[in-house]
Amino acid sequence: MADHQRTAPPDTNPAQGAVLRQGRAADPLPGKPSAPTTGAPLPSQPNQPPQVPGAPASPASVSSQPATAAAAPSVQSGQTATSGQPQPDEVPQDSPQESGSDTDLEQETARAEPEKVQAQVKQQELRLMLRQCDRVLLMDFDRLAMSDWPDNYSLAAAGRGRDLWLFTALTAAVVFVSGLTGFVPAWVAGAGFGAFVVILLLGIPAVRRVYTSRPSYLDLIVKRRRMMSDARAHAAHLEGNDGLIWQCARMATFNVALKHPRFQSLLRLSERRMLPRHLTRREHVRLYLIYLLEAEKAYGRVQAAFFEGNQQAIDRGWQDVAAEPEPRP
């Protein structure tokens, strides 16, 4: 009896398959090779029991097969999407050519920055010169040149005529006075009185213009004084309250004639705002005119240099260097 109740030893023959029970997943067979790994990770799947020949398939294995079949296309589609265009979360990296072009642009900008600053400083200096010396363009050449200035020969000739007129008038007056004293006959004294009256009438400008067109000595003196007064008034108008020619001295780089030593006295007087009242001779006015002419030449060159620099700034795209027109009131 006891022999019949002895428990049979477990069968360890590997040829027989594992015993499957419903509701429990079977362990894989020993020695089964693992599935080859791919580049994309597959979703975790439950272990499927090995199929035993002649044994019915378990419900768990049957239910897991559709899930595995459904997951395979999704994994393949994910791999296809991964191998295509980058996902939105991925940040595209710049190519070496684009980074190289950006570096070259930065280097070029760094090299152009000192040139831009230098051009801006130069344009400001030229603009200041043009603003300070723009009154040079108001110069009246005829008033400062005094082309109708009476020369010394005309003045000397008029002086001789004046001396002759005075001599004849005094002679006639002496004859007339001598006749009053009885030193000469009465008819001689009467003739002397008549000559004296005629000579006096000839000295009157209105009567003098009847018989001669030559200006008298007094006319020439008055003309000289009037022309000098006009020239000084025009110089005062050009100089203004701040002075003119001493501010134009900075344009000497465009005209070296402005550095001549003969202009130093005029520059000092202009800087002290005392120049117009020291123009008392024609030589002073002509020297002032010569300086203004040289300053006008330099002003034209400064203006040309300013316009050229402004055009270059516009061509290179330096809008802050280029001059902007002032707004109209």
- What's the confidence (pLDDT) of residue 145? 92
Residue 156, domain extent: 151-214
More confident residue, 109 or 154: 154
219-259 tens-digit pLDDT: 999 999 999 999 999 999 999 888 999 999 999 999 999 99
Look over the chain and give the mean of its residue pLDDT values, rounded to a whole number: 74
Query: pLDDT-derived band of residue 207, with 50, 70 and 90 as boundaries?
Result: confident
Residue 83 domain flag? no
Rounded to whole angstroms, how far apart are CA atoms 217 and 200? Answer: 16
Of 176, 193, 214, which residue constitutes the final position of a domain?
A: 214
> In the chain, how many domains are there?
2
> Is there a single domain that holds both residue 140 and residue 156?
no
Of 160, 179, 214, which residue constitutes the final position of a domain?
A: 214
- pLDDT surpasses 90 at 81: no
Query: pLDDT-derived band of residue 179, with 50, 70 and 90 as boundaries?
Result: confident
Residue 40 domain flag? no
> Is there a single domain that holds both residue 230 and residue 304?
yes
Enumerate residues 6+ apart whose C-beta is below 8 A from 254. 298, 301, 302, 305
Q: How many CA atoms lie within 13 A of 134 on its CB side?
A: 7
- How confident is the model over 160-178, as a mean pLDDT? 91
- What's the confidence (pLDDT) of residue 319? 66
103-113 tens-digit pLDDT: 665 666 666 67
- pLDDT surpasses 90 at 139: yes
Residue 54 domain flag? no
Residue 328 domain flag? no
Residue 273 domain flag? yes
Residue 38 to residues 34, 41, 43, 76, 101, Cα–Cα distance (Å): 12, 7, 12, 11, 40
> Is there a single domain that holds both residue 259 and residue 165?
no
- How confident is the model over 121-136, as a mean pLDDT? 88
> Is there a single domain that holds both residue 167 and residue 128?
no
Determine the Cα angle at 291 with ends 285 and 297, to 5°. Answer: 140
Residue 112 domain flag? no
How many other CB atoms sit within 10 Å of the CB of residue 203? Answer: 14
> Is there a single domain that holds both residue 224 and residue 170?
no
> Is there a single domain that holds both residue 142 and residue 158?
no
Query: pLDDT-derived band of residue 44, with 50, 70 and 90 as boundaries?
Result: very low
Of 44, 54, 49, 47, nearest to 22 by C-alpha is: 49
Residue 107 domain flag? no
> Is there a single domain that holds both residue 279 and residue 311?
yes
Of 195, 214, 233, which residue constitutes the final position of a domain?
A: 214
> Is there a single domain that holds both residue 289 and residue 235?
yes
- How confident is the model over 115-133, as a mean pLDDT? 85
> Is there a single domain that holds both residue 188 and residue 313?
no
Residue 312 domain flag? yes
More confident residue, 10 or 317: 317
Of 38, 59, 60, 37, nearest to 47 by C-alpha is: 60
> Is there a single domain that holds both residue 160 and residue 209?
yes
- What's the confidence (pLDDT) of residue 83? 44
Segment of 81-90, 174-183, 239-248, 311-320 carrying the highest mean pLDDT? 239-248
> Is there a single domain that holds both residue 224 and residue 305?
yes
> Is there a single domain that holds both residue 157 and residue 296?
no
208-222 tens-digit pLDDT: 888 888 888 999 999
